[in-house]
Amino acid sequence: MADQIELPRTPTRAVRIGTTTIGGGHPIVIQSMTATPTSDVVATAALVNALAEAGAGVVRIAVDSPTDAAAMVEIRAATSANLAVDLQENYRMAERVAPHVDTLRYNPGHLYHHERQRPWQDKVRYLADVASQHDCALRVGVNCGSVDPDKKDRYAHDDSISPMLESAWEHCEFLDQIGFLRYCVSLKDSDPRKVIEINRRFAEQRPDVPLHLGVTEAGLPPDGIIKTRIAFEQLVSRGIGDTVRVSLTVPNERKTEEITAAQQILADIAAGRVRSVVDYGLQTLNVIACPSCSRVENTAFIELAAQVKEITQYARDYAITIAVMGCRVNGPGETDDADLGLWCGPNHVNLKRGPETIGAFTYDEVLSRLKVELDAILATRQTVA
């Protein structure tokens, strides 16, 4: 199959997702995610089918409302692809969508958005029960920008890896305890070095659990592909990783580039064509951007990301990170660690300097204000130098 490439693997347990299986010595499965509004059944189904035809073994769709959940019925009828659903903040959507998908992805850090007084263990038990009833797998998706707040408070501000690992291990232990073993884990960051470290450490303690690899908010090609390649080379070549995604900030009509990029990276690793000497820790400008999904409320965000990259090139010799996020779900948290962050709403872009919010600007206004803030940072760095 075009979505599977033979590479030596760590002997994780096998987890079936629809008609494909990850782990257990099976070939690595490539995944992608739709970026069309889920409620737009025609556009979403068309993108699912295009991604599957390009070689995606699993295609993920975000569900954030009852309208999205209802659309999944029609989307399922329009495709034979293996479907994963991203439950976002509302874990209760699981029972509505599980009959129409093959795996449910939940984020431990998002379980607190609804029914805050209810223990997370009860919510995970509910998700496992729903998954069992409808022949679904689970993915425990831990993300650097939305870490379980309970875990985050126990560690130093600059230690983003430990709370993520503790959260993942804790959820694995609980799922094992209740007898639900049909799950995998993903641990994602926008920094490939952190992706490498966190997945290595997780695999050392839980070599039995299949891992989904990816560099979140990798950004636009070619940078996004290079960042992902660095992480995959260091992990896949060591047998770590059972399913992968290359997250790129591209328009919907170019989403199949994620599949092509993943296929090329895996083929190169299998053939020994690697660039492991590349060090992404160079002291240079780093523009990260999320790959876009159905949560994006204005597709102008994709063009904005390209414009940000273009107008900031004069600062390319400075170790400054600028993050461009496309939605309200991950945007606020995932811009906190950047020097400058933009998270985009329907009509305005929220500009931040570290965790501090500067203000909300129109898409036309934000670039000039971004440049002002960037110049201020550069002036400080030059003074120190």
Rounded to whole angstroms, the Cα distance separating 41 from 39 reads 6
The span from the CA of 72 to the CA of 253, in Å, is 21
- Mean per-residue pLDDT, 292-302: 75
Please state, in angstroms and rounded to a whole number, the distance separating the CA atoms of residues 160 and 226: 22
Percent of the chain clearing pLDDT 90 (strictly above): 72
pLDDT computed for residue 8 by the predictor: 73
Distance (Å, whole) CA 86 – CA 83: 10
C-beta of residue 75 within 8 angstroms of C-beta of residue 41: yes
Smallest Cα–Cα separation from 51: which of 317, 383, 291? 291
Once rounded to an integer, what is the mean pLDDT over residues 346-367?
Answer: 93
Tell me the per-residue pLDDT of 189-204, one tens digit each, with 9 for 90 and over: 999 999 999 999 999 9
289/137: higher pLDDT: 137
Q: What does the pLDDT look like over 8-28, one tens digit per residue?
A: 788 999 999 999 999 999 999
User: Is 121 exposed, middle or buried (CB count within 10 Å of its CB: 0-12, 13-18, 19+)?
Assistant: middle
For the domain spanning 4-271, the CATH number is: 3.20.20.20
Task: Enter the tokens of residue 341.
Answer: 């962050």
pLDDT at residue number 302: 87
| DSSP 8-state code for residue 2 | T
279: pLDDT confidence band, cut at 50, 70 and 90? very low
Distances in Å between the alpha carbon of 280 and those of 157, 194, 339? 22, 11, 17
Q: Which residues contact 223 (CB under 8 A, 6 or more apart)?
A: 287
Q: Give residues with Cβ within 8 angstroms of 8, minimum separation 6.
A: 239
Residue 1 has pLDDT above 50, yes or no: no
Chain mean pLDDT for the chain:
91
Query: In angstroms, rounded to a whole number, what is the distance separating the alpha carbons of residues 27 and 3?
Result: 9
Confidence of residue 148 (pLDDT cuts 50, 70, 90): confident
Q: Break the chain into its structural domains and give their ranges.
A: 4-271, 286-384
Best CATH choice for the domain 286-384 from the list 2.130.10.10, 3.60.21.10, 3.30.413.10, 3.40.50.300: 3.30.413.10
Please say whether the dihedral angle defined by the alpha carbons of residues 147, 148, 153 and 155, taken in this order, is positive or negative. negative
